[in-house]
Structure 1
Amino acid sequence: MSVKAYKPPLTISRNDYLRNGSDRLFRESIYAMVQCTGRLLSCRDAFGNDLSLTASQFAVLMGVAYRQNAEGVTIKELAEHVALASTHVTTEVGRLERKGLLVKRQNVSDRRSVHVSLSPDGEQAIAHVAPLVRLVNDTLFEGIDPAALETARQVARQLILNSDEALAKVRRRKREARG
């Protein structure tokens, strides 16, 4: 007896993403992006561990290091940069301040907000972890030319923008299913 192989439905309707009627390459691309994201997050975990910080604390510390100006950086600007909720960033900034790595100052132009900057210990922590970050980044991006990196950045930015609408559609469908 011959068993007919199951053929799952397409996961995308864009014909330009199909090859010979199959979405296999598209799905492989998605799986690769998810796997890559997981591995990048594992690297972030390792960087945080090197400083006895959580991954999100490390992201906030690095975000401050690279976004602060002479006054510091606001929580809102920092949250947008590190892609974490403002409430989570506020919590992590408090923890990092208690560890002596960050300093908060009142924002003179907006009394409702604060400017965050690295403390001297925070600067030392960044200097300590920088060689590991460089080593890992050099390894991760070996064989990837700047044009390919720019294309990846553009694709990632567009996926981030599109994800808001995609997730809104998921929520809408969930509400409709509940009646």
Structure 2
Amino acid sequence: MATTSATTKMLTVTNPACLVEGSDREFRHLVNGLLPFAARLLSVRDGFGSLIGLTGVQYSLLRSISHLSQKGEVSVNQLGDHLHLSGPFITIETNKLKELGLIEKKSHPDDKRKMRLTITARGTKLLGELLPVQQQINDVLFDSITKSEFRMLCSVVDRLVANGDRAALDLEHLKARKQKG
């Protein structure tokens, strides 16, 4: 059996919260489970989009505009923040949705640089037609999750996304440093 110091050197994570009895086994199990789940989520999103003639990203944008507009006006920046996508990417994709007649883009009356996004009747109709399939598939995706587990996932996901952004940036810096040296 390896020594404690050799075992510690082989850990893929050192955050004490992610270690169980000094092992990273559960951490690796979590990551190895999240990866295929993330792939399946993307596949489902793409499938929802294809059912209404859109890409998965376009579907997400349309659904998010519909959702966010229930609380007020929706801007390109708000939508980008909500989906963790860049403003320029949102602009390109929302222009495509506008061309399809699914959303409207209008300048904000107080700041002409900002664009207000609203879903059209046609966009609302498409999302409504998709709703029974979306409900069925989402119910299957989260079939074995309890209410308390669901609430826990919701409370953790934003922190994980922010951590993921920071980790990806750190990794890019490390890769750039390695390429230079």
**TM-score category of the 2 structures, normalised to the smaller one:** 0.7 to 0.9
Separation of aligned partners in 2, 1:58 and 1:43:
11
Partner-residue secondary structure (3-state), 2:116: strand
Identity %: 27
Q: CA RMSD in A?
A: 2.0
Matched, 1:126 2:127: yes
Q: Residue 3 of structure 1 corresponds to which residue in structure 2?
A: none
Q: Write out per-residue CA displacement over residues 63-107 of structure 1, whole angstroms, 9 at most, x where no aligned residue.
A: 111111597411111111122221111111111111111111111
Partner-residue secondary structure (3-state), 1:22: coil
Per residue, is there more helix in 1 or in 2? 2
Q: TM-score, normalised by structure 1?
A: 0.88
Q: Residue 37 of structure 1 corresponds to which residue in structure 2?
A: 38
Q: Write out per-residue CA displacement over residues 97-148 of structure 1, whole angstroms, 9 at most, x where no aligned residue.
A: 1111111111101110111111111111111111111111111111212211
Q: Residue 149 of structure 2 corresponds to which residue in structure 1?
A: 148
Amino acid at match of 2:61: V
Give 1:68-79 correspondences, 5 Å limit.
68-69=69-70, 72-79=73-80
Amino acid at match of 2:65: V
Amino acid at match of 1:45: D
Matched, 1:94 2:115: no
Separation of aligned partners in 1, 2:145 and 2:172:
37
Separation of aligned partners in 2, 1:17 and 1:69:
38
Contact 1:71 1:117 in 2 (8 A): no
Separation of aligned partners in 2, 1:54 and 1:16:
38
Deviates more, 1:163-172 or 1:138-147: 163-172
Partner-residue secondary structure (3-state), 1:100: coil
Q: Classify 1:68/1:17 alpha carbon distance in 2 versus 1 (closer, same or farther; 3 Å).
A: closer
- Specify every segment of 5 or more residues in structure 2 that has no aligned partner in the other structure, as ranges: 1-6
Partner-residue secondary structure (3-state), 1:142: coil
Q: TM-score, normalised by structure 2?
A: 0.87
Deviates more, 1:75-84 or 1:47-56: 75-84
Separation of aligned partners in 1, 2:114 and 2:55:
25
Amino acid at match of 1:93: T
Deviates more, 1:15-24 or 1:35-44: 15-24
Q: Residue 13 of structure 2 corresponds to which residue in structure 1?
A: 12
Amino acid at match of 2:45: R
Q: Name the count of aligned residue pairs.
A: 173
Separation of aligned partners in 2, 1:25 and 1:114:
45
Q: Residue 4 of structure 1 corresponds to which residue in structure 2?
A: none
Q: Residue 114 of structure 1 corresponds to which residue in structure 2?
A: 115
- Specify every segment of 5 or more residues in structure 1 that has no aligned partner in the other structure, as ranges: 1-6
Q: Residue 4 of structure 2 corresponds to which residue in structure 1?
A: none
Contact 1:71 1:115 in 2 (8 A): no
Partner-residue secondary structure (3-state), 1:60: helix
